[in-house]
Amino acid sequence: MSMKSSENYVRALMRRIRRPARSRPCGSRGVTLMELLVVLAIIAIISTIAVPTIMNQFAKAKVRTAAVQVQQFGTILDMYRLDVGRYPSTTEGMEALMTAPPGVDRWAGPYLQNRAALTDPWGNPYEYRTPGDHGDYDLWSNGADGVSGGEERDADITNW
């Protein structure tokens, strides 16, 4: 090889080293369309499995929340009875826990600070009746459907 041809060879080699190759080498940071589609397919499969499970847990949590609130209202109604000497009448309703009913002297409330607490997790008001069919008072939520009766998450949540 002549001196001139070896210099040309070295120059050509140096140009190749300095310039990045146009084709995608292994380990590069780019993503192909196929890789992107595979990832989207995996996300779709996982979401079809996970979303219904999460929504079911959310529905169960509302039922448990309503049951806990009914129990807490029972304790609050007992405190009202200790102070006033009776449970609120059906006409006074649960509002008697927020504001003193007319003619009640020993009312020591408010027994509830938040008016929104008088609604169940589905946005319906809790039902209250005294005297109750099942005890001194009946307190219940009609569940997710808002109608008396039902099964599973539509079932009534009661204090009896």
pTM to 2 decimal places: 0.66
CA dist., res. 104 & res. 86, Å (int): 10
To which residue do tokens 């929340």 refer?
Answer: 65
Mean pLDDT, the chain, rounded, equals 87
CA dist., res. 75 & res. 31, Å (int): 61
Mean pLDDT value across residues 75-82:
95
Banded model confidence at residue 5, pLDDT cuts 50, 70, 90:
confident
Residue 144 pLDDT: 87
**CA atoms in the 13 A half-sphere facing the CB of 125:** 7
Residue 19 pLDDT: 60
Domains of the chain, with CATH numbers? Answer: 40-158 (3.30.700.10)
Residue 68 pLDDT: 95
CA dist., res. 104 & res. 81, Å (int): 11
- Among 104, 117, 29, which Cα is nearest to 76's? 117
- Please give the DSSP secondary-structure letter assigned to residue 122: T
Residue 18 has pLDDT above 90, yes or no: no
pLDDT above 70 coverage of the chain, percent: 91
CA dist., res. 158 & res. 139, Å (int): 6
Banded model confidence at residue 3, pLDDT cuts 50, 70, 90:
low
Letter for the amino acid at 55? M
- Please give the DSSP secondary-structure letter assigned to residue 1: -
The answer to whether 66 touches 141, Cβ cutoff 8 Å, is: yes
Mean pLDDT value across residues 97-116:
90
3-state secondary structure of 125: strand
φ, ψ dihedrals at 40, nearest 5°: -65, -40
Residue 22 pLDDT: 58
